[in-house]
Amino acid sequence: AQSVTQPDIHITVSEGASLELRCNYSYGATPYLFWYVQSPGQGLQLLLKYFSGDTLVQGIKGFEAEFKRSQSSFNLRKPSVHWSDAAEYFCAVGAGNTGGFKTIFGAGTRLFVKA
């Protein structure tokens, strides 16, 4: 079955510290992978995406993610967290050429940032 697992429901990080949010997926075909961020009461914003090529992808707001096929993982990282990064983060996986409607979202990880 196709699925996305975000093992951490919530994470607390000190401002200025590094961040890694975990994402594991199960997908039969070649996956297209995404990370989205959602501020409270708002819609989701696309942070970055991986289709093919270099397994380390750069996104907006200083985020990056690394695709590891052998581990079926697509973890999101940031070297230094800012208070404004506090939000909920969603990992998603989908097919590349059969339309976005097959995109599957994880349950999300809420990030808290402490001063």
Partner 1 sequence: DGGITQSPKYLFRKEGQNVTLSCEQNLNHDAMYWYRQDPGQGLRLIYYSQIVNDFQKGDIAEGYSVSREKKESFPLTVTSAQKNPTAFYLCASSREARLNYGYTFGSGTRLTVV
- Nearer residue to partner 1 within complex by CB, 7 or 79: 7
Report if residue 44 touches partner 1, rule: CB under 8 A. yes
- Nearer residue to partner 1 within complex by CB, 53 or 99: 99
Whole-number Å distance between alpha carbons of 112 and 26: 27
In which residue are the tokens 């196709």 written? Answer: 2
Q: Which of 7, 14, 103, 114 is the binder for partner 1 (CB under 8 A)?
A: 103
Q: Which amino acid is at 37?
A: V
CA proximity to 45, closest of 64, 61, 56: 61
Residue 83, number of CB atoms within 10 A of its CB: 10
Report if residue 5 touches partner 1, rule: CB under 8 A. no
Q: Which of 9, 28, 53, 70 is the binder for partner 1 (CB under 8 A)?
A: 9
Asked if 11 and 111 count as a contact pair (C-beta separation under 8 A), the reply is yes
Report if residue 26 touches partner 1, rule: CB under 8 A. no
Report if residue 59 touches partner 1, rule: CB under 8 A. no
- Nearer residue to partner 1 within complex by CB, 58 or 80: 58
CA proximity to 46, closest of 38, 79, 10, 54: 38
Residues that bind partner 1 (CB under 8 A): 4, 9, 32, 34, 36, 41-46, 49, 90, 94-103, 105-108
